[in-house]
Structure 1
Amino acid sequence: MRYSFVLLGLIALPLLGCTSPKLEAREDRKICVREGFEPGTIEYDKCIERLVIEREKEEEMM
């Protein structure tokens, strides 16, 4: 179910138009916290990294 929220968030971002890196970073932090990761942990950092990689792959497909 948590993956669905991440996917929904990633799908919704392009619909918002051009997003700034700061906005993307803020959304990534919110998603990872919602998924239960504590900021400052390795797991949280991996979550952020995963979201960035997913977004880059999405952008390459466009």
Structure 2
Amino acid sequence: MPMLRVHLNRQMLPAARAGRFPFMALLARTLGARGWDVAFEPAGPAAHDNPPPPAITPFST
């Protein structure tokens, strides 16, 4: 069975594992339905030192 390992920073990892990160939950369900295993893993130290920037939305000022 193919495996996708998604490495997430410490803020995102617990939410993804609990199914509260909507995109990651959708990704896991979609790939799971096609025979894939999806594992959410902790990112390396560099990711913790450089978290992603805040989201930019059409409503951001």
TM-score, normalising length: structure 2:
0.35
Structure with larger Rg: 2
Instruction: Flag the structure with higher helix content.
Output: 1
Greater RCO (CA < 8 Å, at least 6 residues apart): 2
